[in-house]
Structure formats: C-alpha cells, structure tokens
C-alpha cells in the first residue's frame, strides 16, 4: 500500500494500525491516536556519487529536482529547506532511487537509516553528509477509540525497545526495502 493511502485505510477500517514510519504530527493526531514514539530518525540526502562534493547544502539544489516520498515528513522538509528547488513527490522509494540513478532527479531526502541502506547497496549513489534535522520521531497510528489496542501496542513497543529487538527489526526492514 502506498504511504499516502495509509491514513485513509486506517480511518476507513481497512487496516487496524499503521507501522510505517508515521510521524505523529499535530494534524495527524486530529484523525488518529499514536503509540509511544519508538524511533527518532534524522533526514539526510542521497545524491549521485559523482556529485557528492558539489551538492552539499540546500542552496546547491537551486533550480534542481529534489525527490521525496509522497505524504512523508520529507515532503515538508523539501518545501521548507529546498524552496528554490523543484520537488518531485513519488509514492515508492525504489522508484525515487531509479529516478536518481537515471539522472531525472538530483537528490532524494530520506530518513538516514533508509538512505544509508540504499547507499551501501548502490555504489553510484551516496549520502552527501547533509543533516536535515530530526523527523520528530515515529509511532504507530491507531484509530481513535481503540484504547485497549493502544495499551497493548505501547507495552509491546516498550519491551522491544528495551531488549534491542526493535533495532534488529529496523535493520531487517531496511534491507527488505532495498530489495524492492
């Protein structure tokens, strides 16, 4: 399912919760409840390896195309920090990677753990060292009025955060995403 369709699927009772790097923004909190924050990622940029020394700061992207995944916190970062660039919003990260590799876009704003995974797997793309700030953390989204489910989810998240299982899940999920 595309990220930009997740909230509609949740509020339409097609799914029970969202576990997809969802930022608990104030706007989203109006429609759904959120678990405890289980991960606080930083956003960074991927660029072609041969341009890593040229495209280092937002100003370097003036007039260039910057890719983001639709309906993500990175889309807001593009609007705020890359206002002089052309934003290209695409639903799936692997499609953004192909656009970067083919030269159709000049950079991609991603969560650092995801960007690192793609850079490690593809020698033609690299992190440019730009720290675009914290995403404010991610949490699971749950329909309002499902307090019992929320309580159980929070208990489970607290457990897997404390015993290190969550770190392993993030590594495995990133590896799977890179294979798409």
What's the pLDDT tens digit per position in 36-58? 999 887 899 999 999 999 999 99
User: How much is the pTM?
Assistant: 0.73
pLDDT over threshold 80, residue 171: no
Mean per-residue pLDDT for 87-97? 94
Count of C-beta atoms within a 10 Å radius of residue 152: 12
Tokens standing for residue 165: 């299982």
**Which pLDDT band holds residue 111 (cuts at 50, 70, 90)?**
confident
Q: Is residue 141's pLDDT more than 70?
A: yes
Q: Which residue has the higher pLDDT, 114 or 49?
A: 49
Q: Are the C-beta atoms of 44 and 127 separated by less than 8 Å?
A: yes
Contact, 65 vs 86, CB < 8 A? yes
Quote the CA–CA distance of 59 and 63 in Å, as a whole number: 9
Residue 178 has a pLDDT of 54
Bridge partners of 126, per DSSP, are 47
Radius of gyration of the chain (CA): 17
Over range 7-11, report the average pLDDT.
95
168 has pLDDT over 60: yes
* Per-residue pLDDT at 65: 98
Helix and strand element counts for the chain (H, E): 7, 8
User: In terms of DSSP H, where are the helices of 30-72?
Assistant: none
């Amino acid at each position: 399912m595309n990220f930009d369709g997740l909230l509609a699927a949740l509020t339409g009772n097609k799914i029970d919760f969202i576990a997809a790097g969802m930022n608990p923004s104030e706007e989203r909190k109006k429609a759904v409840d959120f678990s405890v924050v289980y991960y606080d990622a930083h956003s960074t940029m991927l660029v072609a390896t041969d341009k890593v020394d040229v495209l280092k700061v937002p100003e370097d992207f003036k007039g260039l195309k910057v890719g983001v995944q639709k309906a993500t916190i990175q889309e807001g970062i593009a609007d705020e920090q890359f206002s002089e660039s052309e934003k290209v919003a695409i639903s799936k990260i692997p499609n953004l990677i192909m656009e970067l590799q083919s030269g159709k876009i000049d950079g991609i704003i991603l969560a650092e753990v995801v960007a690192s995974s793609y850079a490690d797997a593809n020698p033609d793309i690299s992190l440019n060292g730009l720290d675009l700030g914290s995403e404010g953390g991610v949490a699971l989204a749950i329909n309002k009025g499902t307090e019992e489910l929320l309580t159980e989810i929070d208990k489970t998240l607290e457990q897997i955060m404390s015993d290190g299982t969550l770190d392993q899940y993030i590594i495995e999920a990133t590896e799977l995403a890179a294979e798409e």
